[in-house]
Structure 1
């Protein structure tokens, strides 16, 4: 690891299983377990040599955690300059400059830089919460953009993913289970057919609080597989054995 120069308020967090380190500022936004589980869930298309795009990358956690699984190039798309800058420095810190890069842009305006139909894989940990008359947004600008659909909604995200992907390319997303009907509607209307779903539960006696989704561009309708659930914590508030293995076990490439 190359030691970076950190700005005020920044720290380095890491994922031991992938030997990846991320620069972030908790006063702006920090990745959480959803980013790790998405990167772990996302499959490898072919030999992993194709282009991967991470939409709404934040500090780059999902794309960087996914990077050791593949050999192809990865583009991290992030609209917030401060988060994009941290992602760019994390790329250098991890020695991934030859394969991973940051595009500071609204994801709807990336097609001069990333050709339509060029991506094998698209990843996204998007804003979870829609805007409506009763929405209470976070007063912090960085959290507001990361958590609420201020710059793009689910249909818009699905449209961008569809335009980026080659036919039969894969789209992977983590979201909230209560938005599942919206997710199905948005993706299927844009020829992204859901093929795998995995629910994540905080504890065994609670409702699911995350859903991991895999969709394929121009895939056949139907054939959705519901995978075994992930339980994040034991009743004693420790990580479960499965989550410990994801975080601290062998590299996901093995």
Structure 2
């Protein structure tokens, strides 16, 4: 492999999806099942345009590129190192014509409003409130997990700015923030349409939620069947194995 593609502190991970491999840091934030769940939850129609906010390593755009017929995907990420790494993954997989990553702050509304309106926005935002036990606000993992660089309202406001009329927003978050999510979606006229609860296993309460919202949509909310990540013996369920292509 060309030394420009992979650095000493990085790994190359096979997504088992049309030969796509993604570059990640060995000791920094790495994608988890939440990103895989969101990418599989999003309904991407033929030739749809997509923006992925809080893009991180770019995992969601790469899964969407492998599983859908989206025509163009833009990832927005505030951490320059992550953006550079994601763009190297693009080159490695020859996906430059379909995906690009931009190092920008989603709170930069002048930039956000300069983007083309898209059919779909996906976002796996920081889950934890800024004051919930952060030790080092400069830590890259803390930035990914805590609302240091953006709040939930910042995220939903940005979704509103880039969505076409009737475009869809797909988000994964935590159940304890559901009231906040729905209130803010309605504030910005993104109507909640479908909610899916994710359980660690069928004996445990949900620890993640997937939510689908429609820009300027009419009021009608449905609940999808819950999904369990693990069987009681700790193995992945059939639904999760299918998502991973196993």
Q: Which residue pairs with 1:67 in the alignment?
A: 65
Moved over 4 A (4+): 1-4
**For the structure 1 residues 227 and 113, does the alpha-carbon distance in structure 2 shift closer, same or farther, using more than 3 Å as the test?**
closer
Give the total of aligned pairs.
Answer: 244
1:215, CA displacement in angstroms? 0.3
Q: Which residue pairs with 2:101 in the alignment?
A: 102
Segments of 5+ residues of structure 2 without an aligned counterpart are: none
Q: CA RMSD in A?
A: 1.9
1:27, CA displacement in angstroms? 1.5
1:96, CA displacement in angstroms? 0.6
Normalised TM-score (structure 2): 0.93
Relative contact order (alpha carbons < 8 A, sep ≥ 6): 1 or 2 greater?
A: 1
Q: Which SS does the other structure have where 2:207 is aligned? A: strand
- Do structure 1's residue 36 and structure 2's residue 50 form an aligned pair? no
Q: Which SS does the other structure have where 2:23 is aligned? A: strand
Q: Which residue pairs with 1:170 in the alignment?
A: 168
Whether the aligned pair in 2 keeps the contact of 1:2 and 1:94 (CA below 8 Å) is no
State the alpha-carbon separation in 2 of the partners of residues 100 and 196 from structure 1. 27
User: Which structure 2 residues correspond to residues 213-232 of structure 1 after superposition, within 5 A?
Assistant: 213-221=211-219, 223-232=220-229
**For the structure 1 residues 118 and 178, does the alpha-carbon distance in structure 2 shift closer, same or farther, using more than 3 Å as the test?**
same
User: Which structure 2 residues correspond to residues 3-14 of structure 1 after superposition, within 5 A?
Assistant: 5-14=5-14
1:5, CA displacement in angstroms? 2.7
Whether the aligned pair in 2 keeps the contact of 1:78 and 1:103 (CA below 8 Å) is yes
State the alpha-carbon separation in 2 of the partners of residues 114 and 18 from structure 1. 33
1:15, CA displacement in angstroms? 2.1
- Do structure 1's residue 136 and structure 2's residue 130 form an aligned pair? no
1:113, CA displacement in angstroms? 6.9
Whether the aligned pair in 2 keeps the contact of 1:18 and 1:65 (CA below 8 Å) is no
Segments of 5+ residues of structure 1 without an aligned counterpart are: 250-254
